[in-house]
Chain A
Amino acid sequence: MTYVLRYLKPYWKQLTMVSVLLLVQSLSNLYLPDLNARIINEGIAMGDIDTIVRIGLVMLAVTLLLAGCSMLAVFLTARSAMGFGRDLRRAVFAKVQSLSQAEVNRFGAPSLITRTTNDVQQMQMAVLMGFNMMFSAPIMSVGGVIMALRQDVPLSASIIVIVPLMALVVGLVMRRTMPLFKLQQRKIDRLNQVVREKIAGVRVIRAFVKTEREASRFNEANLDLTNTALTIQRTMALVMPSLMLIMHLSAVAIMWFGAHRIDSGAMPLGNLTAFISYVMQILMSVMMAVVMLVMVPRAVASAERVQEVLAEVPSVAGPAALEGPSEAEDESPADPMPEGIVEFRDVGFTYPGAEAPVLSGVSFVARPGEVTAIIGSTGSGKSTLVNLIPRLYDATDGALLIDGVDVRDIPLKRLRGMVGLVPQKAFLFSGTVASNLRYGKEDAAEAELWKALDVAQAKGFVSEMPGQLEAAIAQGGTNVSGGQRQRLAIARALVKRPRIYVFDDSFSALDFATDARLRAALRKQVGDATVFIVAQRVSTIKDADRIVVLDKGQVVGIGTHAELMTSCEVYKEIVRSQHAEEEIA
């Protein structure tokens, strides 16, 4: 919480100013009844119309001052709160950019999105609303108490009774509703989840004739949520009427006790009316503060969630010595062109908190001009293995070396510049075909783009799209088919012309003819780069210079197809299964 509040610091000048303005505003507010009293005492009582007008003009001036202060305060608060939100949002976004895939997976992308958008928004609102109340409520209360004491000291004791009574009522209601609010949130989540599943699975639901079952599932969640919401609303219905009641009854009680004091000559009559109005002012401030208090737990919850992200330490970071603020790595054309020798040296990987390693004891060397294929069953660690190369994860055991240098000693930017990754899920950004292709190389010429598209077997459909290279791509690439998306992702990596290519199961959505053509073209294109291909099918990787067979995170065989056919049981099994499939289908 305090960590997050640090982001308010740049605005301390404005906020100090706001508190001064609010102080002036509150004092003016308290001054007005006083002036009113003087109109009565000095003007009306004396029948002096000039005085009435004169004091009236003073009141007008005070009113103007008050309005000016409030507006300036609103202006400064709005700017500070929005500025705070802007800075905090940026800090979270920048932090997430620096996190590795491991941390992103742990939080979950949806959760990170919520934290960056909603939670920050929530806090920004708390600051916006909080500042006015936070400052004006105490000032009004203190001012009101001083004014009340000036009218009559013993009667002021009533404040000591009334305020805690109000606090008690609010406390009781809050204690009952706070857990309910949390519960309600869970039930909203549950309902949303049911709806989300229903929308995503509409075909399955209809195919299995489960509409009724789904309706009752929804109804259950709906009823559950309604009941909780109802309990909350009904409990909350108590708050305002009871606070108003306490306020009004206080006025009645003060009237009663005040009457006795006046009767005994301890207090002049005029003071009673003034006293009541000041007490009302105090109670109103307390009530405002109560409204604020309701926001606090939510803002705190949001702050904690934001804080968790900000406090996260990226598990993958560039080498400390080189990660200077000057980004020295940018201006070092002197760096020799990397060769691209990738060596896995006894590499192991375990997810944080997981018991079993995903990978262990992986050792092999891949050289430029060679194709290294990785094959194995689902969950054998293939993707994890190749994701270690651009350091989307860091090996938890052993080391990964490129040209003999531990990847952890290579500046991240440089390392990732060397690697062209085609991820398992072909993700495209919103924009155009060209903007996606240029993602890895911003200055690529159009000819380069077409060349890459040609190799990726994407030239045909891109040239048929309206606008061709400038054709719009929707967010996530939803306006092109899965196969087209994959081919564009491949082209994107090709445009980058990296030293090391990583194709992570990148041909799965392609039909056979396209797959075959693509691989043939690819072979010519990548030249002497180091190539990694993760695949499920023997046909895709059979010609590879080296096939690494993974089984349950361990290397069970390395060699060419021919070698493995004689030496590796698991490989033979895979091949047999694919061959056999020919026979049985």
Chain B
Amino acid sequence: MSGGSERVPRLAATGPEPGQGRGPRFGRGPGRGGFHGPPGMMPAERARDFKGSLRRLLRLLAPYRLATLMVVALALGSVVFSIVGPRILGNATNLLFEGIIGKQFPAGLSVEQVDRMLRAAGRQELADMLGRMNVVPGRGVDFAAIRSVLLAAAMLYVLSAAFSWAQHYIMAGVSQRLVYRLRRDVDAKLARVPLKYYDSNTRGEILSRVTNDIDNIASTLQQITTQLITAAVTVVGVLYMMLSISPLLTLMALATLPLSLIVTLGIAGRSQRQFAAQWESTGKLNGHIEEMYTGHTVVQAFNGQEKALRAFDDENARLYAAASRAHFISGIIMPAMHFINNLNYVGVCVIGGIRVARGLITLGDVQAFIQYARQFSQPISQTASIMNVLQSTVASAERVFEVLDEAEETPDPAQPVRLPRVAGRVEFRNVSFRYKPDVPLIENLNLVAEPGQTVAIVGPTGAGKTTLVNLLMRFYDVDDGAITIDGVDIRAMSRDGLRSLFGMVLQDTWLFEGTIRENIAYGCRDDRCPPGEEEILAAARAARVDHFVRALPEGYDTRIGDDASTISQGQRQLITIARAFLADPQILILDEATSSVDTRTELLIQQAMAELMKRRTSFVIAHRLSTIRNADVIVVMNQGRIIEHGNHESLMAAKGFYYDLYNSQFSKAFAEAV
């Protein structure tokens, strides 16, 4: 495996993730590349259901049945031709030999005369040997015959090479197309799984299934199929040739077969355990490296370098121990097989030699047999190494299949209610919801937002504020009760139809790799895509993006991405706000949208937001009470329940939870501030 290219490691998942250090995950995956090293470099990862997953992987080949059959046929041809080759070359040797022997005798003599002459001279053995040959006394080497034999051999080799090339060529197409489809299917699947899937798996884990695992399949599939087919055909072909030469010698050659199987399996089993240990250490060490690098600031500020190095050294030493054992054990497979083959070779030489001396078999046959015996063991040791690769491929495939088998979102209704234009009356009616069945979160919640109202939701962390958004957008579905928009249950609409009504600015400032213009344009609705330059500029101006973008050397064409340092966190947030402006939604959701914008910028946004919210039903979630004081309804949540609601004045008058919350922040600070 790890002749791998400069592949993206699993930790490619690394990316600064807003606000938190939820880092990349180190996978179990092997390195990948076009080439594959010796056996055993693959991490010993076994599939849970090897047979089932293998069968499923093979079923993926079904659409390419024809091509696959052709590959098998070509492999068959290629191998058969290359097996016949030595035999034909052997004929050339015989011709040459005969010519040279024949030249030693005067022309015109018959074979019988020569035989008699030799026996008379007491050279019985030579006479015996000649008896088995086609010698014409006095005739030299028949170059015409040799030429035609050699040409035939050359033709066979050319054909064999051509077949082999065609086989690889076709299989490349099959495996790449298969992998292409697999990637596409997984991608499509990821668009259909509920949000829950994303929330309960780390990003790195999902990512590695789509990328690394599929890459692994991509780079090994061709190798496995072509090599397995070739190996199988070679074994059968060579076995046939061997049997046709000498059943006894064949039996002897086969005697070492169980031995090599035992050795291979024994070593492979041991090395798998060591590789498992190596992989565990690698995972831990990589985790440590990743943690120390992402937390570099803290490590430095707290003089943690030495501690980091100590922990590193410990694990590094363990990795070294496991890795050198693993590579030693897996490394001796080849020499061990070689050794067994050589035993075989010596055995055939000695026993074959004795049989030749006793006149039971010809010398040429023994020589050919030795060649075939070597060819016979090769595919067997090759298969042993392929099995390791296959293990990891099937394990990868299994992880991909797991994604494909994930439960999907409940389907949209067959005839969804379409609300092209809504007044914007949003109602939560007896809504209950839990992320985990045994942890109650939202219980029996009722809430109404009248058209055009601004509803602010406040409360401590974990109170369930963001959950309301998740339910409203149908990222999650309510367990009980219903949410309606203008009286229509949101589950009666299609998800896309529902979400088209909303504009959303999230805590998480998600920008994709592209220009600022493209990122703002992302907010456009289907009917107005792509948006005109004027619309983009208008949205940018409204969100106060325009002024800082113009200061950038490349303006709206400045490229930004997940980890872009060209613009600040606050500016990133402004861009997501511009995106929402462009969307021009009928209902607005602002979740902590302004938390990392400095106050002066925020003031500008507040004004723009106020403008935006005017004609729309809006939900605002904020920690900062100042931002929502003028909301029509303020909903105070705690532990999944609405504990208070009303407007600012009424809540202040009630002197309850909100009053405390508000006072803790503002009364003191601002009384003195201004």
Contact = CB atoms under 8 A, between A and B. Distances in A.
Interface in B245-270: none
Would you list the 10 A-B pairs with minimal beta carbon distance, nearest first? A476-B21, A539-B669, A237-B168, A512-B665, A70-B335, A110-B14, A233-B172, A56-B350, A378-B570, A74-B331
Contacts of A233: 34, 168, 172, 175-176, 222
Given A252-B153, A476-B23, A201 B309 contact: no
Given A241-B168, A298-B5, A262 B100 contact: yes
Nearest to A193: B513
Interface in B34-66: 34-35, 37-38, 41
5 contacts: A63-B343, A101-B300, A122-B31, A236-B168, A298-B5
A93 B165 contact: no
Interface in A525-545: 536-539, 542
Interface string A158-200: 0000000000000000000000010011001101110111111
Nearest to B179: A226
Contact of A439 (B146, B302, B563, B628): B302
A285 to B, nearest CB: 15
Given A206-B499, A263-B141, A475-B287, A66 B338 contact: yes
A119 B475 CA distance: 40
B357 A52 contact: yes
A67 B506 contact: no
Contact of B19 (A83, A198, A230, A482): A482
Contacts of A13: none
Interface in A197-227: 197-204, 206-211, 214-215, 218-219, 222-223, 226
The B contact surface, by secondary structure, is helix
A203 B323 contact: no
The A contact surface, by secondary structure, is helix
A210 B509 CA distance: 16
A582 interface: yes
Given A201-B510, A208-B523, A238-B165, A259 B328 contact: no
Contacts of B12: 110, 114, 189, 192, 196
Given A197-B513, A416-B302, A104 B320 contact: no
A252 B363 contact: no
A241 B171 CA distance: 14
Contacts of A82: 320, 323-324, 327
Contacts of A263: 96, 99-100, 140-141, 143
A485 B286 contact: no
Interface in A247-262: 248-249, 251-252, 255-256, 259-260, 262
A452 interface: no
A101 B297 contact: yes
B198 A199 contact: yes
B630 A584 contact: yes
B353 interface: yes
A315 interface: no
Interface string B418-449: 00000000000000000000000000000000
A20 interface: no
Interface string A409-425: 00001001101010101
A44 B349 CA distance: 10
Interface in B308-362: 308-309, 312-313, 316-317, 319-320, 323-325, 327-328, 331-332, 334-336, 338-339, 342-343, 345-346, 349-350, 353-354, 356-357
A259 B2 CA distance: 46
Interface in B555-601: 561-563, 565, 568-571, 576, 579, 583, 595-601
Contacts of B184: 218-219, 222
Contact of B2 (A77, A122, A536): A122
Given A241-B164, A252-B153, A581-B603, A269 B294 contact: no
Contacts of B23: 475-476
Q: How large is the interface on B (under 10, 10 to 19, 20 to 34, 35 or more residues)?
A: 35 or more
B297 A392 contact: yes
A117 B11 contact: yes
B526 interface: yes
B624 A47 contact: no
A558 B366 CA distance: 99
A43 B21 contact: no
Contacts of B631: 585
A112 interface: yes
A291 B522 contact: no
A89 interface: yes
B7 A185 contact: yes
Nearest to B594: A581
Contacts of B222: 233
B301 A392 contact: yes
B353 A52 contact: yes
Nearest to B286: A117
A377 B99 CA distance: 99
Interface in A67-83: 67, 70-71, 74-75, 77-79, 81-83
Contacts of A40: 353, 363
Interface in B133-149: 140-141, 143, 146-147
Contacts of B512: 197, 201
A230 B304 contact: no
Given A39-B349, A93-B289, A204-B506, A575 B363 contact: no
Nearest to A36: B349
B240 interface: no
Most chain A beta-carbon neighbours within 10 Å: one of B168, B176, B293: B293
Interface in B273-309: 282, 285-287, 289-305, 308-309
Interface in A461-485: 475-478, 481-485
Contacts of A294: 3, 34-35
Given A237-B165, A542-B673, A537 B599 contact: yes
B89 A251 contact: yes
Contact of B35 (A242, A291, A301): A291
B139 to A, nearest CB: 12
Contact of A259 (B96, B188, B289, B332): B96
A259 B92 contact: yes
B401 interface: no
A538 to B, nearest CB: 6
A188 B301 contact: no
B300 A114 contact: no
Interface in A54-110: 56, 59-60, 63-64, 66-67, 70-71, 74-75, 77-79, 81-83, 85-86, 89-90, 93-94, 96-101, 104-105, 108-110
B570 A43 contact: no
Interface string B516-539: 000000110110000000000000
B187 interface: yes
A47 B176 contact: no
A416 B300 contact: yes
A240 interface: yes
A158 to B, nearest CB: 15
Contacts of B661: 511-513
Interface stretch (B110-118, B206-214, B231-239, B484-492): B206-214
Nearest to A416: B303
B656 interface: no
Interface in B436-485: 460-462, 473, 475
Contacts of A311: none
B416 interface: no
A522 interface: no
Contacts of B606: 581, 584-585
A128 interface: yes
A170 B26 CA distance: 36
A237 B357 contact: no
A24 interface: no
B154 interface: yes
